A and B are shown apart, each in its own frame.
Chain A
Amino acid sequence: MNDSYLETLRAALAQVSGFIYPNELELQWSILIVLYPYITGLVAGAFILASLERVFNVKSVKPTYRLSLLVALAFLLIAPLPLQVHLGHPERAFEIFMTPNTSSAMAMFGFVYIWYLMVVLLVEIWLDYRREIVLWSKSETFWPKRLFYKLLTFGVDNISPRSLEIDEKIGRALTVIGLPSAVLLHGYVGFIFGSIKANPWWSTPLMPIIFLFSAMASGIAGVLLFYMFLCWLRDEPIDMPCIDTVAKFFLTALIVAFSLEMLETLQTAYEAEEHFDIIALLVEGKLYFSMIFVQILMGSLTPMFLLGLAQLFDLPEKVRKVFYGASAVLSLVGIFAMRWNVVVGGQFFSKSLRGFTTYKMEFAGREGLLSAIVLAILPLFVLAGLLYLLPPWGERAGKESATS
């Protein structure tokens, strides 16, 4: 038994207000479970942005296409880690694949994840890069890298126009499958919470769709930010028509997500069922800062205002860049707060609807702040590695010479 943790819980007893069932003192899903839907959200959002170009032929977002896929992959590779670290018996995690309980939303995780990673994302990225991989496997001078590309060709070095055309066709078909898969991946995460009837703060059929649209907003914000940062880093001009279009989709996703959230809030307040009093106290008290201030005011209304200004007025390029960047940062913070408010907020109040428990976050423990920060930064390192191995920027020149 971890004595310091028990000591934390004993201290938390004094922080309880009102009545809670005795077993409710311990907050079961920690900051790591806040991180999980946040990271999967970025994956789904980035992928949906990528499919804009492929499926819906929004050509102006082309410069972000490959970057979006790589961002999605980097975050997807890390996504299961917070879950894994959180488990009481991580060594039994594989049972989710081996003996899934078909009535459990969580058991579907393994299958949705594997499907999305193996079938959709990896194959799509491979197809899109295949031509370059073949070229790199011949031209690369640094031998370990050359070997890596050689392995990635799987022994196929046919890059005739005909075979590239087939690649393009399969790639498009994959994106068409991938789009609902990305929706499924994140919709299912929302369903994990939305299907818990015991918790009135979670239990709503809108949950998957709220998660989905906020995921789109966060994914688009993430890619937008990475794109602008990488342009700055590589001393390249930012493609303004591209980020103008991305900002438009960003604003749309924000508006839809925010409207759904407010609709849900309004409905709860208007119906004012048994649980309404405790929910109102929750929002006015423990969640005031993270919900009213960070999520709504800072993370939703401010970016909507800034992006709206950029739409309505003919602002100079420099101002637009600042507005887009600021909106992206703000909504990334706001959406993290939204995940926090759902996951942790939903555990603050007792299911007896008579009181609140508290959350004492550890710093260095397995589920502490430190591991959360490490897990949040890890995808950035993975992304850096991916950018090194599969640079997305040569693409336009490559594609053009291939078609000419």
Chain B
Amino acid sequence: MNPINRRQFLKTAALTFLAFAGRALAAPLAAAEKFFHEPPWRRKKPYWGYAVDITKCIGCGRCADACKTENEIPREPFYFRTWVERYILRRSGEVAVDSPNGGIDGYPPPRDPESIAQSFFVPKLCNHCEHSPCEQVCPVGATFKTEDGVVLVDRKYCIGCRYCIQACPYGCRYFHPTLQVADKCTLCYHRIKNGKRPACVENCPTGARMFGDLSDPEGALTKFRESERTQVLKPHMGTEPKLVYKGLDKEVR
């Protein structure tokens, strides 16, 4: 091989510089067009999504109860895959939130009902984020996203470092006291793989909880998302949840 002489070196350097300079001039013009990202459910089928209609939730807590039964979650009041929060907005501006035992046993009657401006229930569960922070931080890859968009934990692989619990902005993970691994909502993966709906959806008496295939243009969930104005929790986190809410109030975090 011949050693590179000075002329060749300068030539290469100049060309590289020109290439970057040309790109620098052209790049700003096309920048805005890059905003659009095709959602993954255009390419993958099925791709599971979830929606909650807050205006329909009556706070019965049957979803949280069914989840604990279906998935054998410890019955302690601090381990939940799903729970229901009650919001009480008073005329004074005061906001009170509670979720005693996840809403399974009902809620205590509110004091001074006259002072309440409005009150509503918000069911919470894993958001199955498209860019899930829990998956990002797992040191061994025990948390992963399936081909059909569900975020799962491999119980045989999780080392129990709890980093994912810290990383979840929504408090949807807990540390399983007997298995000693991180645990969270699986969308009842064992059920949906067999064509059934998740236990929480199955047990919701008002249809406030909806589950479906985002890749199906005629599906009920797609129709709901197209016809309603929905919002996600903590959108500034950039996690792109696949759980959307209708009727979300600004006080809900």
Contact = CB atoms under 8 A, between A and B. Distances in A.
Contacts of B159: 87-90, 92-93, 95-96
B205 interface: no
B77 A351 contact: no
A28 B74 CA distance: 17
A103 B180 contact: no
Given A99-B141, A352-B171, A22 B83 contact: yes
Given A26-B175, A351-B169, A100 B124 contact: no
Interface stretch (B26-34, B96-104, B189-197, B213-221): B96-104
B137 interface: yes
A92 B166 contact: no
Given A9-B76, A93-B159, A101 B139 contact: yes
Contact of A22 (B80, B96, B168): B80
B13 interface: no
Contacts of B157: 92, 95
Contacts of B74: 1
A10 interface: yes
Interface string A51-81: 0000000000000000000000000000000
Interface in B92-140: 96-99, 101-102, 124, 133, 136-140
Contacts of A156: none
B78 A86 contact: no
A196 B166 contact: yes
B48 to A, nearest CB: 22
A192 B137 CA distance: 9
5 contacts: A19-B99, A23-B172, A88-B181, A96-B140, A351-B169
A319 interface: no
A25 interface: yes
Interface of B: 74, 76-80, 83, 85, 96-99, 101-102, 124, 133, 136-141, 157-163, 165-175, 177-181, 237-238, 253
B169 A198 contact: yes
A104 B163 contact: yes
Contacts of B78: 9, 13, 22-23, 25-26
A350 interface: yes
A19 B98 contact: yes
A26 B160 CA distance: 14
Nearest to A2: B177
B161 to A, nearest CB: 6
Given A22-B78, A23-B174, 15 more contacts: A6-B76, A9-B76, A21-B124, A21-B170, A22-B83, A23-B165, A29-B166, A86-B161, A88-B159, A88-B180, A89-B180, A100-B140, A106-B161, A196-B137, A196-B167
Nearest to B80: A22
Contacts of A101: 138-141
Question: Counting chain B CB atoms within 10 Å of each CB, which of A87, A88, A192 scores highest?
Answer: A88
Contacts of B238: 197
A28 B134 CA distance: 14
A22 B77 contact: yes
Given A101-B138, A103-B136, A26 B77 contact: no
B253 A352 contact: yes
A21 B168 CA distance: 12
Nearest to B165: A28
Nearest to A110: B139
Contacts of A352: 97, 171, 253
Nearest to A105: B137
A381 B163 CA distance: 31
Interface in A173-206: 192, 195-199
A297 interface: no
A168 interface: no
A101 B160 CA distance: 15
Contacts of B161: 83, 86-88, 106
A25 to B, nearest CB: 4
A354 interface: yes
Contact of A354 (B167, B172, B253): B253
A345 B40 CA distance: 38
Given A6-B76, A6-B177, A352-B97, A88 B158 contact: yes
Contacts of B166: 28-29, 196, 198-199, 347
Which 8 pairs across A and B sit closest by C-beta, in order of nearness?
A88-B160, A21-B171, A88-B180, A198-B169, A25-B78, A19-B97, A107-B139, A106-B139
Contact of A106 (B83, B137, B171): B137
Nearest to A5: B177
B167 to A, nearest CB: 6
Contacts of A103: 136-137
Question: Counting chain B CB atoms within 10 Å of each CB, which of A6, A29, A198, A199 scores highest?
Answer: A198
A88 B142 CA distance: 13
A109 interface: yes
Contacts of A21: 83, 124, 170-172
A125 interface: no
A72 to B, nearest CB: 24
A42 to B, nearest CB: 22
Interface in A323-356: 347, 350-354
A106 B161 CA distance: 9
A107 B172 contact: no
